[in-house]
Structure 1
């Protein structure tokens, strides 16, 4: 589940995106057995999303019934199987949501115009897609690149939400943002995508290549894609990837046959021609935070010649040939790759930190800095079973032991404050923070021993709000017992009040 501060940030983002919309003005229904001549009611649903879009206005919700929607077309058909070009409005989205408890499946395997096909072409603003499955988009032209399951493009493409989608077995990327900003991709899976005509070189799980800022990916999974899990190349707008996973990218799906580039998370870059780079002050500082990359063919986390820095905070790279690859070999004097790296774990990779220019990067409190001897005993599990399993009821990632820190690991509380909330004396290393509110000594209980840790660290790590958290939780440990909390002295309260100001750092913002 999301860390509390990350959850608060997500709530704020959803509000900024207009997620907290007014009550829908109307509700329409679509079903595989419906008819576009029907009124679009629950009893008499429409038969297509195109008809539902025609009827819907800002604030409305289109409920999509479960079952298969099979698209069949040949030469002369539009490149867009479904075109969304009607926008909602701030706080009045048009929602395209799966009917509760059902899964609508959009199958494009028989949609075969001689075009670069889009399953969904999104050319509108303030839309919200939730709970849909898209599969089988085909690559019908052999002299150009991939097709796309969802492509955000055109003159719109702003302030949309793509939530709890399952994008798979497409002959190109699952979701690709080529234009538009301030889009949120939330709790979505993109996997087994492969473009056979190009040898797998362009089928990413997710891509954001827009000139606009504000595209954010949270809680997503990308696996068994023939190119990269996530690819932010040529994006002149800042992109953020948070609490997301990537594994086994760079192969023909479900084989060990090499295909595309093979990065789990390709976090930037503008190819190899500096004449095409943005001005140094305009290079985006992308963020990769709280994410996991393992068993990818080449890199877990890859800077991809990015002509500037990327913020890499609290990530875990495991069992990749290169864990963190900070390659930047094009005009470094004018475009220095001054990466910021904090609290990352790189373990059991062929090379944990590759192509790093130590004169440029700012890296502290990562496993390669601390020179700790890491072993399997530091983790609850190194078995990835369950990473592709069912999500939690709220759509968040599965709660499994894989790569979470074991009690007693020296990686717990070994990090530096980088602007995220944490439990204990300091942040843990890696993507998963252990502990719970008030458990300052990370022993799984909230008891008098935590007060001692709090008291002995006045003016360093803890503030008055930390004590209040402990006070509210004291005794609420695993056994459900309760106890009387020691009252702080007046002097202690004054010391804490003075110390807590400025206690939290924030991620640096350069340029």
Structure 2
């Protein structure tokens, strides 16, 4: 589902769900498939082969040499090992572009996993496992592991580094792990999409773990989006957008247990689940006040991180925080901005967020600057009973067949929770009368007592939540969504009771005329 919404900044933005993105990718693939060629690469192949399915190349570099815009390079399963103490900083360099509507695709062969292993690739350089310096490329289903940081007087290496103004690339269903630096880092380039990918257990021991993020974007170019990703057990942050002059979007992603040496409780890097912006502490390096990027952080879950769930990181401007859930962090939402806020005010916009079970649910929030409504700290107390589960079972379980995140009970709202339909409508699809609070939209759509029907009991529950002011206009909202009272009680005759007063309802029927299923 796609909608056009207007942000508080007044700029229109396009809201496209994870499934919508996936559908768009499939349609684009279908359009170009008829006119494209296919090439095959296998660990058992040879670069002197023809590249046919029964005569595959041995290297992805040879596949790139053969491919033209619109072509697909199929990567057969198995290990692609790189070794040696001499060689380029770019173990694999992508410098041939596809074209609009005709990307070059580097896809895992169906049902197989190509694993690029760089543990033994150790030239004395800052290593890039994949250096992406081209446009209109699409990567899918690839595992990258073991990128090393050989020299210790500079910062991290990278599993994937997007650079050289690389635009319009897609990184899909990747598994990036055990690298001595970030899993995927956008240094330069715009309109890149990172979707349904995992980055975990990355740790740079030579720097004490301070640079190995799951994902990062510091680009000058706009349009970079991270959708449906997971970042966990990274020694620094899960997602890091510090020093990004252009706005970045993070949607529908999960981040947990970042900031430790992987597999331990030993502190390492900064430990934010989502570090959503910032430019350090020297205001001389800040952008002009009207040029500070307004990053969008929407629909994300961040829990059990060492420092913060969601962190503004001294960001000298506004960030949009919409429909996120923070749980089990020392600080749920940390909006720290302490460098000349009179010049660079942190006018953050916060709606529909859940912060529960953190040592501090909201911290460093300047009430004279931020715009926050319809969040848990604005509305009502939250308890464990509001959720199906507060135990993070299954968060790292396999993804669904389409690459989307697994559906689990953790931090999803329970039937009857006051957080259902308590949000503000901002353009994202929702069930019921209004968006739910937090990262997950429930499927109860008016069935507040979860008995399989929308009826008088649900209406009474909804009505009482409105508080002491209730009107026929409010009732019309219910009717528009779920149906009307029986004819014996006309809608126009609905009284305006005080909070808790009863209305003698006989029945309410679903708008579709049958029980909700």
Q: Quick one: structure 1 residues 458 and 12, their matched pair in 2 at CA, closer, same or farther if it must change by over 3 Å? A: farther
- The answer as to 2:54 corresponding to 1:54 is no
Aligned CA distance change for structure 1 residues 347 and 60 (closer, same or farther; 3 Å): same
What is the CA distance between 1:97 and its match in structure 2? Answer: 0.2
- Aligned partner of 1:385 in structure 2 is 393
TM-score normalized with structure 1 length: 0.87
Task: Evaluate the alpha carbon distance shift between residue 281 and residue 40 of structure 1 in structure 2; reply closer, same or farther with a 3 A threshold.
Answer: same
Alignment partner of 1:117 out of 120, 123, 127: 127
CA RMSD of aligned residues (A): 2.7
SS at match of 1:22: helix
**Per-residue deviation at 1:440?**
3.2
Other structure's SS at 2:258 match: coil
Give distance in 2, aligned partners of 1:83 and 1:233.
Answer: 26
Q: Distance in 2 between matches of 1:462 and 1:226?
A: 51
1:475 equivalenced with 2:517 (yes/no): no
> Which residue of 148, 173, 195 maps to 2:182?
173
* 2:139 counterpart residue number: 129
- Equivalents in 2 of 1:324, 1:194: separation in Å? 25
Task: After TM superposition, list the pairs within 5 Å mapping 1:163-242 onto structure 2.
Answer: 163-242=172-251
Q: What is the deviation of 1:14? A: 5.1
Q: How many residues align?
A: 470
State whether structure 2 residue 265 is matched by structure 1 residue 265. Answer: no
Q: Does residue 413 of structure 2 align to residue 405 of structure 1? A: yes
Question: Which of 28, 49, 58 is matched with 1:38 structurally?
Answer: 49
Partner of 2:78: 67
From 253, 261, 274, give the equivalent of 1:252: 261
CA distance in 2, matches of 1:452, 1:247: 35
Q: 2:455 aligns with which of 445, 449, 452?
A: 449
Is the 8 Å Cα contact of residues 20 and 91 (structure 1) preserved in structure 2?
A: no
| Mapped partners of 1:466, 1:238: distance in 2 | 42
SS in 2 for 1:430: coil
CA distance in 1, matches of 2:207, 2:57: 38
Deviation at 1:128, TM superposition (A): 0.3
**Is the contact between residue 424 and residue 442 of structure 1 (CA under 8 Å) also seen in structure 2?**
no
- C-alpha distance in structure 2 between counterparts of 1:211 and 1:169, whole Å: 28
* 2:299 equivalent to 1:278: no
Tell me how far apart the structure 1 counterparts of residues 36 and 73 of structure 2 sit (CA, whole Å): 11
1:158-217 deviation per Cα after TM superposition (whole angstroms, max 9, x unaligned): 000000000000000000000001000000000000001000000000000001100000
Conserved 8 A contact 2:18-2:227: no
Q: Is the 8 A contact 1:446 1:475 kept in 2?
A: no
Which of 403, 406, 410 pairs up with 1:395?
403
Alignment-derived partner of residue 154 in structure 2: 144
| Cα separation, 2, equivalents of 1:308 and 1:462 | 41
Cross-structure match for 2:314: 305
Q: Distance in 1 between matches of 2:212 and 2:225?
A: 20
Contact 2:337 2:364 in 1 (8 A): yes
Q: Which runs of 5+ in 2 are unaligned?
A: 4-14, 463-471, 485-508
Q: 1:103 to 1:14 in 2, by over 3 A?
A: closer
Say if 1:298 and 1:320, in contact at 8 Å, map to a contact too. Answer: yes
Partners of 1:81 and 1:118 within 8 A in 2: yes
2:439 aligned partner: 431
SS of the equivalent of 1:353 reads strand
Aligned in 2, Cα 1:146/1:91: closer, same or farther, shift over 3 Å?
same
1:97 is aligned, of 104, 107, 131, to 107
Given that 1:194 and 1:225 are in contact with CA atoms closer than 8 Å, whether structure 2 keeps it comes out as yes
Long gaps (5+) in structure 1 = 479-511
2:278/2:314 contact within 8 Å kept: yes
Q: Distance in 1 between matches of 2:30 and 2:483?
A: 30
Once residues 356 and 481 of structure 2 are traced to their aligned partners in structure 1, the CA distance between those partners, rounded to angstroms, is: 36
Q: Distance in 1 between matches of 2:511 and 2:36?
A: 42
Q: Cα distance 1:462–1:417, how it changes in 2: closer, same or farther (>3 A)?
A: farther
TM-score by length of 2: 0.86
Does the CA-based 8 Å contact 1:426-1:461 persist in structure 2?
Answer: no
Whether the 8 Å contact between 1:184 and 1:217 is mirrored in structure 2 is yes
Residues 385 and 447 (structure 1), Cα distance of their counterparts in 2 relative to 1, 3 Å cut: closer
Deviations 1:314-363 (A, max 9, x none): 10000100000000111111110000000111011011101111100000
Match of 1:323 in 2: 332
Given candidates 283, 292, 297, the residue that maps to 1:288 is 297
> C-alpha displacement at 1:410, in angstroms?
1.1
Deviation at 1:12, TM superposition (A): 8.7
The match for 1:83 is: 93
Structure 1 residue 21, shift from structure 2 partner: 4.5
CA distance in 2, matches of 1:412, 1:471: 18
**Cα separation, 2, equivalents of 1:105 and 1:8:** 26
Bigger drift between 266-275 and 420-429 goes to 420-429
